[in-house]
Amino acid sequence: MSWLVTGGAGYIGAHVVRALADAGIAPVVIDDLFSGVESFVPADVPFVKASILDTDAVETTLREHDVTGVIHCAGYKYAGESVKFPLLNYSINVEGTRSLLEAMQRADVRRLVFSSSAGVYGNSGVEFVTESTPTTPESPYGESKLIGEWLIRDQRIATEMAGAPLAATSLRYFNVCGSGHADVWDASPHNLFPKVLFAIQAGKAPQVNGTDYPTPDGTCVRDYVHVSDLAAAHVVAAQRLEAGLPVEPVYNLGSGDGTSVREIVDAMVAATGCAQEPVEGPRRPGDPAKIVADGTLAARDLDWAMRHTVQDMVDSAWASHPKG
């Protein structure tokens, strides 16, 4: 018995793989290394280099490794870039999810945890989002994640009618940061933490965009969650599905209160010993002052909790960040 992690060579996926192993569940990884790093996959974990768009390869992997469930982390995760490259975004996130669902149906694998995104909520004008908040995504990335949830919903309905129901849940979250392992880091050039750390390494002052919002320190407030906490919730979701326990269709993995950009950047400056004060820049178009997610349902069912502080997130991100 094993669980397949799509995108298991990525930053989030690699943490999920290790969390599965720590929980006594045998992980298998499939990743085309489009953005993943092969060395992130432990040497004793089966690794298949293939795209989730290759339905036959996914089906073969499911069968050969006696997979009983899938944690679907593979995806094009760049919201801003998705506006520039919508066709690539939809190919990977929508067609890739459709391909995975087809492979699972062929191989009779009926358990799925989908690593979705709180980007499905968009800029709804609501500061505190719950699972019932209307979904109004504002980027092709957010749209593609929502379509992925729809695909899973429709496949669940279809398989129920066929007498072989798909058990599935989707996990929505905002900004993921930190590291649980010194040899795994956030390699994305588009995420806040690596962008700031690379700037500091290059001797540049980090920039804070927008300092006149109606928040305590004038900067945007968002959810920042430690990647190890996120990975743990994915594993508990898999365990519930394996045990046949009920799950909600979607869960928010949110902090409930949020952290300001100023707090994050100040913590990074302190952790790295940066001698330069952050530079204040203009607001970015479309950025709401505050948006955080309610994690109450996930706390009830998935043992979700913010077990790491902002300082933990920053310190671990800096410790794992490549220094070369």
Active site positions, annotated:
141
Alpha helices in the chain (DSSP H): 11-22, 55-64, 79-84, 86-90, 96-107, 140-161, 192-201, 227-243, 261-272, 296-302, 310-320
Q: Determine the straight-line distance between the first and last CA of the chain, rounded to whole angstroms.
A: 40
Q: What gap in Å lies between CA 81 and CA 268, rounded to an integer? A: 25
SS3 content of the chain, % helix, strand, coil (to 5): 40, 15, 40
Q: Which residues pair with 111 in a beta bridge?
A: 167
Task: Compute CA 183 distance to the chain's CA centroid, rounded to the nearest angstrom.
Answer: 19
Q: Is the dihedral of CA 234, 61, 183, 26 positive or negative?
A: positive
